[in-house]
């Protein structure tokens, strides 16, 4: 004899307990009266205790049945909750995606995209690797990522690239400094200033130096930091500044203890591209995640349009002491 108590046994017991009748319980559970009686005999045998007093016209629960009923109700409640919870996965395709992102994307764009994607596809395992462009490119070349977002301008074998988003560059400094948040600034008016940049292997290092050289912007001191959180914290507590993609900054210009200003005279932008392994076609799930990332990146970048910001908060002259 099977000595296990099934959910069917519990459901029939609860029906018999509440109806006080095996016949009524059979109607409620779409069973036969003899089938309910057999279920209850097996259950009593398995538990080693009598649950009902059989009487003409119905059954009377014993104290043991009262106790068992309370626990059975908890079991059925937990089972109902489990079924309700798992149904949200029913219409979702199962799968896994592995995406590589730079800190400039993970700090602002990733969160709303993850939230939306996991609501749409709750049965998908999402893995995010945060790193800088050189490392991400190598990982894509190895076929270990579905795709990655990196600055444009590099060409590597084994990967296919496509335009992702153009985002303005912004100047980031401490909130207690001389600049007014959101006011567009010309870097020549601030020079010479102390500037934090990524390491020499990072393509952004050369892009920033090239912009400064082309536009005759004098840098007083240059510090290389290959850590985004470290850069933001250092800038927030010193008189050093950094040039960062606007896509990673809050639209209101607030970012902890930081002041954020669009760069003008001329404007400065960075183009990001999506790279994927040539030998491995992107899955529909990865393509959907990439599309959501692009939408959010475009939305955030659009809020940093310098023409729009000039209408809201016009620039004002900034006096900076030489050699500060």
By the 10 Å C-beta count (0-12 exposed, 13-18 middle, 19+ buried), 274 is classed as: buried
226 Cβ contact partners less than 8 Å away, ≥ 6 residues apart: 132, 198, 199, 202
What is the tens place of the pLDDT at every residue in 199-243? Answer: 888 888 989 999 999 999 999 999 999 899 999 999 999 999 999
Please tell me the total count of domains within the chain.
2
Lowest mean pLDDT among 34-38, 163-167, 186-190, 253-257: 253-257
Which of 148-157, 193-202, 256-265, 284-293 has the largest mean confidence? 284-293
Residue 128 and residue 83: Cα distance in Å, rounded? Answer: 29
Output the pTM of the full model: 0.69
Residue 195, phi then psi, degrees to nearest 5: -125, 130
Is the residue at 323 inside a domain? no
Is 222 among the domain residues?
Answer: yes
- For residue 321, is it within any domain? no
169 with 277, same domain: the answer is: yes
Our CA dihedral for 149, 152, 157, 158, rounded to 10 degrees, sits at 30
11 and 124 fall within a common domain: no
Is 285 among the domain residues? Answer: yes
Could you tell me if 46 and 131 lie in one domain? no
Asked if residue 320 is part of any domain, the answer here is no
Say whether both 46 and 168 belong to one domain.
no
Alpha carbon distance 285, 323 (integer Å) = 53
> Do 46 and 177 sit in the same domain of this protein?
no
Same domain, 38 and 136: no
Count the helices and strands in the chain (H runs, E runs).
Answer: 12, 12
The verdict on 265 and 293 lying in the same domain is yes
Residues 162 and 269 in one domain: yes
- Asked whether residue 295 is domain-assigned, the answer is yes
Identify whether residues 184 and 300 lie together within a single domain. yes
231 and 255 share a domain?
A: yes
**Rounded distance between C-alpha atoms, residue 28 and residue 239, angstroms:** 76
Q: Is the pLDDT of residue 307 over 70?
A: no
By the 8 A CB rule, do 266 and 215 touch?
A: yes
Mean pLDDT of 265-269: 88
The CATH number assigned to the domain holding 179 equals 3.40.190.290
H-helix or E-strand spanning residue 64: helix 63-87
- Indicate if 103 and 29 belong to the same structural domain: no
Looking at the fold, whether 163 and 289 belong to one and the same domain comes out as yes
Residues 6+ positions from 280 with CB-CB distance below 8 Å? 143, 146
Domain that holds residue 250: 95-312
Which stretch of 91-95, 122-126, 261-265 has the lowest confidence by average pLDDT? 91-95
Residue at 147 is within a domain: yes
Average pLDDT over residues 4-13: 88
Residue 324 domain-assigned?
no
Q: What is the pLDDT of residue 126?
A: 96
């Amino acid at each position: 004899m099977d000595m296990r108590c099934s959910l069917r046994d519990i459901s029939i017991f609860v029906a018999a307990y509440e109806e006080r009748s095996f016949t009524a319980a059979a109607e409620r559970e779409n069973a036969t009266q003899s089938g309910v009686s057999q279920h209850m005999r097996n259950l009593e045998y398995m538990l080693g205790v009598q649950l009902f007093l059989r009487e003409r016209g119905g059954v009377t629960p014993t104290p043991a049945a009262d106790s068992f009923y309370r626990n059975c109700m908890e079991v059925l409640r937990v089972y109902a909750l489990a079924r309700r919870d798992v149904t949200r996965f029913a219409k979702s395709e199962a799968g896994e995606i592995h995406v590589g992102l730079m800190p400039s994307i993970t700090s602002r764009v990733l969160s709303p995209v993850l939230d939306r994607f996991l609501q749409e596809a709750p049965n998908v395992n999402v893995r995010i690797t945060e790193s800088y462009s050189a490392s991400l490119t190598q990982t894509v070349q190895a076929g270990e990522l579905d795709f990655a977002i990196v600055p444009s301008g590099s060409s590597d074998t084994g990967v296919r690239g496509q335009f992702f988003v153009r985002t303005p560059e912004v100047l980031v400094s401490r909130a207690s400094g001389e600049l007014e948040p959101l006011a567009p600034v010309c870097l020549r008016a601030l020079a010479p200033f102390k500037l934090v940049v990524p390491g020499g292997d990072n393509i952004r290092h050369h892009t920033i130096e090239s912009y400064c050289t082309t536009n005759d912007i004098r840098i007083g001191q240059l510090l290389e930091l290959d850590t985004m959180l470290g850069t933001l914290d250092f800038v927030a507590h010193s008189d050093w500044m950094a040039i960062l993609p606007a896509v990673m900054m809050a639209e209101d210009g607030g970012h902890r203890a930081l002041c954020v200003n669009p760069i003008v005279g001329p404007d400065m932008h960075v183009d990001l591209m999506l790279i994927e392994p040539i030998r491995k076609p992107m899955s529909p799930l990865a393509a959907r995640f990439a599309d959501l990332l692009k939408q959010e990146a475009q939305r955030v970048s659009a809020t940093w349009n310098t023409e729009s910001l000039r209408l809201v908060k016009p620039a004002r002259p900034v006096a900076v002491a030489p050699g500060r």
